[in-house]
């Protein structure tokens, strides 16, 4: 599919003198390389299925994921409730689907926020160097020193009520330093490249140099790290919810569904309550990681271990 | 002050496009836990030179002699430590980036490595249009027209304008760099070893192209190279650099026929000759280039100079005028 238009245009000049040959941009080459990675492509398909299922939750279930029904507490699966009901009598299937929305939204938006903070600070530090760089780097050192979990628990304890937005902020605020360092490092290597000097010689503004010359050439590490970060954040959200410091009940998330299994009775007698959300987390994170690896190989063929 | 500055006053009738006065670029060496400056690499050490409008001034020197740094400092791609840079009689050495922008139109640079000097994520058209986009108010169509005509000028097929740098050979990429440098109709171009990364056959093509473009657009070149035959081919005047200083500067003919500085003599004797009957004796220099962070006292070349005497260790030789336009920094030629 990718090659066809190229083949026709490369024979073009003989047929028609006005034909302009289309080149293959490095990003399209990376995409082509990614498409050859079967594991990564399969992961994209599975992840898409999960996302569609989660987005179209109302098509699969009529139940309200937050509505308790005291007559249905811990019921076994039935035709009406394929995955049974939880300890508050809520439908597990509905919670699995709607909870997926929360887990994915937390992972995705925390990734976007981290990206915004990390890319901005990393670009500034790497581009300007000197004092600005020193200040930003000391700030990242400071943030890296803080134990993530303790910080989360403290903030949650202070705020008492955690919403999705607050959880996203906490995650993004505590995890930007790693990305900042990666972006800064990439910028530092790019800064010595002659094409950056060339852009300066033309009189290109700092902003344009950052957006047109640095970021497109740093897109590989940015995309790869963003993808892997998202997987981490989904796990972080689950972990926090599992110990009760994440998304509070009755809002469903995969993490707080698993926390049901803290009760030995449910762990032993109703695997249908905790295996599906566990599997959902496993599949999502695994797929995202495979996609991340695929992207890394696609952007940087030298890292290919095969 | 220095002899050359007195000379400059006499020669002011010459139309200089670029002048460097006592230009210095020292890179600090940081050491210790506190990152204190423990020394300096004197990449460009008190260079005074003028470039006449329309000429090609070749700069030669071994690697580490500071010739690339000189080019970059003149273009203000690096901040000078000391000294002045005059472009068309205006001092640009202290201007801010914003104030420099209008000057950037008139001075451009072509780099050595054609694989590093083009942004790999932009296609040829974007690359050539970028200077126009940043510096002029041409609209999209006008920019495309200009890019196409520039590609034709440098001998590339306009059909391939949507290709990316990695799809071209080294020589073609260097042509793209030249087209990009020409886009703003500059008056002065610094060529930082533009052909040393290319095959010999391609070198000649690119050099001839640059010579043709110089005639057509009335360009002034500062041509940096380590290859004496390349410099001989393209230059009007040649400056020889050693350890951040100018050892000798002269019109091409004088320099190649009657080299004065012992370093120039040694360099020229190393050029392979095709003349079997008239073989020159090769002067083999002893030792390596001394470290620019700790240059020898007095004349920097004295440690390797076959003609060195005591005075060379004590006094640093100034550039002196020995004949019409021929300057040399060597105690042997002082009266």
Q: How confident is the model at residue B279 (pLDDT cuts 50, 70, 90)?
A: low
Torsion of CA A272, A274, A276, A280, to 10 degrees: 180
- Residue contact A21–B130, C-beta within 8 A: no
Instruction: Determine the structural domain holding residue B22 and report its residue range.
Output: 3-106+184-333
**Poorest-confidence range of A30-34, B8-12, B73-77, B114-118?**
B8-12
- Residues A35 and A119: their CA atoms lie apart, in Å, by 27
Residue in B closest to A204 by C-alpha: B134
Report, in this order, helix, strand and coil percent for chain A, each rounded to 5: 75, 0, 25
> Which has more confidence, A77 or B144?
B144
What are the residues of chain A with a beta carbon less than 8 Å away from any beta carbon of chain B? 13, 19-27, 193-195, 197-206, 208, 212-213, 216-217, 219
Residue B110 DSSP SS3:
strand
Element holding B238 (H helix, E strand): strand B237-242
Taking contacts as CB-CB distances below 8 angstroms, the residues of chain B near A13 are 159
- Residues B165 and B63: their CA atoms lie apart, in Å, by 27
Q: What is the pLDDT of residue B220?
A: 92
Rg (alpha carbons) of chain B, rounded to whole number: 21
Domain count, chain B: 1
ipTM: 0.82
pLDDT at B274 over 60: yes
Domain boundaries of chain A, sorted by first residue: 27-56+90-303
- Residue contact A23–B162, C-beta within 8 A: yes
CB B189 within 8 A of CB B167: no
Q: What is the pLDDT of residue A8?
A: 39
- Residues A90 and A81: their CA atoms lie apart, in Å, by 9
Taking contacts as CB-CB distances below 8 angstroms, the residues of chain B near A19 are 159
Angle at A97 between CA A153 and CA A175, to 5 degrees: 30
Share the mean pLDDT of chain A.
80
The fraction of chain B above a pLDDT of 70, given in percent, is: 93
- Residues A160 and A151: their CA atoms lie apart, in Å, by 14
> Which has more confidence, B3 or B103?
B103
What DSSP state is assigned to residue A36? Answer: T
- Residue contact B122–A212, C-beta within 8 A: yes
Q: How confident is the model at residue B65 (pLDDT cuts 50, 70, 90)?
A: confident
Interface test with A, best of B119, B126, B194 (most A CBs within 10 A): B119
The whole-angstrom distance between A9's CA and the closest CA on chain B is 11
- Residue contact B167–A24, C-beta within 8 A: yes
Element holding B90 (H helix, E strand): strand B90-91
Closest Cβ–Cβ partner in B97, B112, B117 for A195: B117
pLDDT at B59 over 90: yes
Q: How confident is the model at residue B300 (pLDDT cuts 50, 70, 90)?
A: confident
Q: How confident is the model at residue B73 (pLDDT cuts 50, 70, 90)?
A: very high
Taking contacts as CB-CB distances below 8 angstroms, the residues of chain B near A199 are 119, 130
**Poorest-confidence range of B21-35, B72-86, B95-109, B164-178?**
B21-35
Q: What is the DSSP string of A182-246?
A: HHHHHHHHHHTSHHHHHHHHHT--HHHIIIIIIHHHHHHHHHHHHHHHHHHHHHHHHHHHHTTSS
- Residue contact B120–A217, C-beta within 8 A: yes
Q: What is the DSSP string of B27-60?
A: EEEEETTTTEEEEEEEEEEEEEEEEETT-EEEEE
pLDDT at B222 over 90: yes
Taking contacts as CB-CB distances below 8 angstroms, the residues of chain A near B123 are 23, 25
**Poorest-confidence range of A90-99, B274-283, B324-333?**
B274-283
Give me the mean pLDDT over the B30-45 stretch: 80
B220-236 as b/e: b if 16+ CB within 10 A: bbbbbbbbbebbbbbbb
Q: What is the pLDDT of residue A14?
A: 42
Q: Measuring CA to CA, how many Å separate A101 from each of A253, A292, B19, B245, B284?
A: 8, 21, 67, 68, 77
- Residue contact A208–B134, C-beta within 8 A: yes
Q: What is the DSSP string of A69-136?
A: -GGGTTPPP-SSSTT-B-TTS-BHHHHHHHHHHHHHHHHHHHHHHHHHHHHHHHHHHHHH-HHHHHHH
Cα torsion angle, B206, B208, B210, B213, sign: negative
State the residue for tokens 């104030």: B99
Who contacts B2 (Cβ-Cβ below 8 Å, separation ≥6)? B22, B48, B318, B319
| Spans of chain A below 50 pLDDT | 1-17, 305-306
Interface test with B, best of A12, A19, A202, A219 (most B CBs within 10 A): A202
CB A250 within 8 A of CB A66: yes
In a domain, B230, yes or no: yes
Give me the mean pLDDT over the B151-169 stretch: 87
Kindly report each contact of residues A18-24 with a partner whose C-beta sits within 8 Å and lies 24 or more positions away, as own/partner. A19/B159, A20/B158, A20/B159, A20/B160, A20/B161, A20/B162, A21/B159, A21/B160, A21/B162, A21/B163, A22/B162, A22/B163, A23/B123, A23/B124, A23/B160, A23/B162, A23/B163, A23/B164, A23/B167, A24/B164, A24/B167
CB B87 within 8 A of CB B168: no
Residue in B closest to A219 by C-alpha: B121
Who contacts B302 (Cβ-Cβ below 8 Å, separation ≥6)? B296, B308, B312, B313
Its CATH class, for the domain covering A27-56+90-303, is mainly alpha
The whole-angstrom distance between A221's CA and the closest CA on chain B is 15
Interface test with A, best of B112, B122, B192 (most A CBs within 10 A): B122
- Residue contact B119–A203, C-beta within 8 A: no
**Poorest-confidence range of B233-242, B261-270, B286-295?**
B286-295
- Residues A147 and A145: their CA atoms lie apart, in Å, by 6
Structure token pair of residue A258: 């698993």
Taking contacts as CB-CB distances below 8 angstroms, the residues of chain A near B161 are 20
Look up the CATH number of the domain holding residue B208: 3.40.50.300
| pLDDT tens digits for range B80-103 | 998 889 988 888 888 888 888 888
CB B113 within 8 A of CB B165: no
Q: What is the pLDDT of residue A281?
A: 87
Taking contacts as CB-CB distances below 8 angstroms, the residues of chain B near A202 are 104, 108, 130-131, 134-135, 180, 184
- Residue contact B162–A216, C-beta within 8 A: no
**Poorest-confidence range of A31-35, B30-34, B156-160?**
B30-34
Taking contacts as CB-CB distances below 8 angstroms, the residues of chain A near B116 are 193-195
- Residues B106 and B219: their CA atoms lie apart, in Å, by 10
In a domain, B124, yes or no: no
């Amino acid at each position: 599919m990718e090659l066809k238009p190229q083949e026709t245009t490369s024979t073009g000049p003989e047929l028609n003198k006005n034909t302009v040959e289309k080149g293959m941009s490095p990003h399209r080459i990376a995409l082509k390389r990614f498409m050859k990675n079967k594991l990564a492509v399969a992961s994209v398909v599975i992840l898409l299925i999960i996302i569609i299922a989660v987005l179209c939750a109302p098509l699969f279930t009529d139940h309200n994921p937050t509505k308790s029904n005291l007559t249905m507490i811990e019921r076994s699966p039935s035709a009406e409730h394929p995955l049974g009901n939880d300890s508050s009598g809520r439908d597990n299937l509905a919670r699995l689907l709607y909870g997926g929305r929360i887990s994915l939204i937390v992972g995705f938006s925390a990734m976007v926020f981290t990206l915004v903070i990390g890319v901005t600070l990393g670009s500034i530090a790497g581009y300007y160097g000197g004092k600005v760089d020193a200040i930003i780097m000391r700030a990242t050192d400071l943030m890296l020193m803080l134990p993530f979990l303790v910080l989360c628990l403290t903030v949650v304890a202070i705020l008492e009520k955690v919403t999705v937005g607050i959880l996203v902020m906490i995650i993004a605020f505590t995890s930007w330093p790693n990305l900042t360092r990666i972006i800064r490092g990439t910028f530092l290597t790019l800064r010595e490249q002659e094409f950056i000097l060339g852009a300066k010689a033309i009189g290109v503004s700092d902003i344009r140099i950052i957006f047109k010359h640095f970021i497109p050439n740093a897109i590989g590490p940015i995309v790869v790290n963003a993808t892997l970060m998202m997987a981490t954040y989904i796990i972080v959200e689950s972990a926090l919810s599992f110990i009760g410091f994440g998304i509070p009940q009755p809002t469903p998330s995969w993490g707080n569904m698993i926390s049901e299994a803290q009760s030995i009775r449910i762990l032993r007698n109703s695997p249908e309550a905790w295996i599906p959300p566990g599997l959902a987390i496993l599949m999502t994170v695994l797929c995202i990681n495979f996609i991340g690896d695929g992207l890394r190989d696609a952007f940087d063929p030298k890292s290919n271990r095969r | 002050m220095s002899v050359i500055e007195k000379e400059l006053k006499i020669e002011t009738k010459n139309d200089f496009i670029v002048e460097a006065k006592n230009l210095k670029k020292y890179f600090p060496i940081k050491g210790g836990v506190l990152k204190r400056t423990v020394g300096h690499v004197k990449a460009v050490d008190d260079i005074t030179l003028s470039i006449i409008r329309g000429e090609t001034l070749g700069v030669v020197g071994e690697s580490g002699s500071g010739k690339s740094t000189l080019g970059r400092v003149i273009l203000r791609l690096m901040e000078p430590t000391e000294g002045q840079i005059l472009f068309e009689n205006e001092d640009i050495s202290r201007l801010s980036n914003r104030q420099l922008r209008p000057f950037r139109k008139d001075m451009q640079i072509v780099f050595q490595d054609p694989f590093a000097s083009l942004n790999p994520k932009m296609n040829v058209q974007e690359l050539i249009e970028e200077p126009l986009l940043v510096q002029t108010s041409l609209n999209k169509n006008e920019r495309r027209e200009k890019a196409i005509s520039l590609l034709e000028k440098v001998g590339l097929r306009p059909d391939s304008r949507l290709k990316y740098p990695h799809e071209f050979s080294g020589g073609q990429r260097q042509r793209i760099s030249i087209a990009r440098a020409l886009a703003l109709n500059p008056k002065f171009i610094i060529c930082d070893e533009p052909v040393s990364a290319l095959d010999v056959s391609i070198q000649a093509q690119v050099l001839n192209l640059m010579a043709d473009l110089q005639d057509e657009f009335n360009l002034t070149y500062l041509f940096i190279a380590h290859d004496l035959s390349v410099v001989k081919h393209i230059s009007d005047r040649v400056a020889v650099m050693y350890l951040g200083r100018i050892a000798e500067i002269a019109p091409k003919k004088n320099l190649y026929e009657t080299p004065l500085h012992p370093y120039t003599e040694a360099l020229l004797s190393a050029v392979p000759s095709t003349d079997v009957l008239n073989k020159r004796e090769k002067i083999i220099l002893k030792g390596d280039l001394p470290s620019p962070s700790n240059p020898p006292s007095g004349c920097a070349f004295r440690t390797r100079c076959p003609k060195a005497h005591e005075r060379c260790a004590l006094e640093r030789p100034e550039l002196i005028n020995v004949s019409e336009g021929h300057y040399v920094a060597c105690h042997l030629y002082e009266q």
